Chain A
């Protein structure tokens, strides 16, 4: 059973009403991944948005010419991963690996996009928060990049 209150704890949904969240709950599932499991593969089709309920995941990016995967961020309960589910071209930008046993709410991206298209009041509120989340991760990577050089 998906909890409206749990959904509301995520920044991406913080401006939505209970009625708005009641539209999102039916397309949301709970999933669990063991430590070490690859949750999202880089360059795969982003078919789900992941909301971290429990545990921790690492976001990694593979370097050119077989270099190791570098950690670019991590995500903990209350945060999301897999934003490419809502950002075109809907191809994952990085790898996500569960660093401990993790529980997520997952939302089917096609169903969520359809919901937002038909309810642009909800769509605006969600995409406004989504751009802030992506922007915040972008700022972190800029910080790492200029610190590394």
Chain B
């Protein structure tokens, strides 16, 4: 599993032994197309790493019955980061749009590992900050582009 983990940017600063620590707590899961992975506002207990397929992140609109696409996730990307940031509930829902394969990591177990090994914790949180910041940049730009003035 180490080679599969290595393709994820969030683990790029880890040694082989540290990656092995992550591999020991990761599980492989498969979902068919059009399957809900998690609901908006539900308890965020897993971090998801997409190996194959495509996932869409959606949120209910305030003023219309439909849902708005917040992001689309492809192989090599992560989602469900609310599991490792407080208050640990999902801001949006996620579902597959193609048959998909993930690695899932229990956030409780991952946080325990970070506490025991600060080097892993620092490296991974450093990369996750970059992932969230990049998605913030993208989404806030979409929001600003909605301006009518």
A residues with a Cβ closer than 8 A to B are: 61-64, 67-70, 72, 83-84, 86-89, 93-94, 116, 120-121, 123-124, 127-128, 130-132, 134-139, 141-142, 144-149
Interface of B is mostly: helix
From residue 30 to 87 of chain B, which have CB atoms closer than 8 A to chain A?
59-64, 68, 70, 81-82, 84-86
A139–B121 CA distance with the chains assembled, in angstroms: 23
User: Can you spell out 14 A-B residue pairs with CB atoms less than 8 angstroms apart?
Assistant: A61-B141, A67-B145, A70-B143, A72-B143, A83-B133, A87-B129, A89-B130, A123-B118, A127-B125, A128-B121, A131-B85, A131-B129, A146-B60, A149-B64
A120–B63 CA distance with the chains assembled, in angstroms: 45
CB distance A87 to B139 under 8 Å? no
CB distance A149 to B140 under 8 Å? no
Assuming A88-B126, A145-B143, what are 9 further A-B pairs, CB within 8 angstroms? Answer: A67-B149, A68-B147, A120-B121, A124-B114, A124-B118, A127-B121, A135-B82, A145-B70, A146-B60
Q: Which one of A67, A86, A145 has the highest number of Cβ atoms from chain B below 10 Å of its Cβ?
A: A145
Task: Provide the residues of chain A in CB contact with B129, threshold 8 Å.
Answer: 83, 86-88, 127, 130-131, 134
Convert B107-121 into 0s and 1s, putting 1 for each residue whose CB lies closer than 8 angstroms to a CB of A.
000000010001101
A131–B141 CA distance with the chains assembled, in angstroms: 20
CB distance from B45 to the nearest CB of A (A): 16
B residues with a Cβ closer than 8 A to A are: 59-64, 68, 70, 81-82, 84-86, 91-92, 114, 118-119, 121-123, 125-130, 132-133, 135-137, 139-147, 149
CB distance A146 to B118 under 8 Å? no
Task: Provide the residues of chain A in CB contact with B147, threshold 8 Å.
Answer: 63, 67-68, 70
A137–B132 CA distance with the chains assembled, in angstroms: 10
Interface of A is mostly: helix
A61's nearest neighbour on chain B, judged by CB, is B144
A61–B86 CA distance with the chains assembled, in angstroms: 25
CB distance B121 to A146 under 8 Å? no
B68's nearest neighbour on chain A, judged by CB, is A146
Task: Provide the residues of chain A in CB contact with B145, threshold 8 Å.
Answer: 63-64, 67
Given A63-B147, A142-B59, A144-B143 in contact, is the A149-B132 Cβ separation under 8 Å?
A: no
Task: Provide the residues of chain B in CB contact with A128, threshold 8 Å.
Answer: 114, 121, 125
Task: Provide the residues of chain A in CB contact with B149, threshold 8 Å.
Answer: 67-68
B132's nearest neighbour on chain A, judged by CB, is A134
Task: Provide the residues of chain B in CB contact with A70, threshold 8 Å.
Answer: 143-144, 147
